Amino acid sequence: MVTRRALMSRPALTGALVTAGSLMSAGYATAFEPHRVQDTNYRLSPQGWPPGLRLRIAVLTDFHAHPRCMGEAEIAAVVARTNALAPDLTVLLGDYGSQSTGPLPFETVANILRDLTAPKGVYAIQGNHD
């Protein structure tokens, strides 16, 4: 078993492991995660909610818009998919931009998200990357 002390005494091995881990993480973040768009449905019954009253809410978050992983076409596809769900209300929970070099301009992302429709409105807040 390799101990922490043994690992730290071999800087080349430590550097190689850190580099490999960083590359694997970056690869996952750009190659797999952006294409993992999920539709998850929850049925909630808050106390005091009128029986039979239904409210469909679409929640969108963490676009981190960048041509390399979540470009204009991918965001437009999310908008179309969301509109097809016919939500009563849509909320955007931030992190529209990317901190990587060369992100999509916020104006471009906003213009695409402008196509979201919901009878009770579309509301947005900023995230920690905005």
Span 24-37, pLDDT tens digits: 766 655 566 656 66
Please state, for a pLDDT cut of 70, what percent of the chain lies above it: 82
pTM reported for the whole predicted model? 0.69
pLDDT of residue 69: 76
88 phi and psi, to 5 degrees? Answer: -75, -30
With H, G, I as helix, E, B as strand and everything else as coil, classify residue 53.
coil
For the chain, the domains span 1-31, 53-130
- CA 52 – CA 69 distance, rounded (Å): 41
Span 37-74, pLDDT tens digits: 677 888 888 899 898 889 999 999 888 888 877 889 99
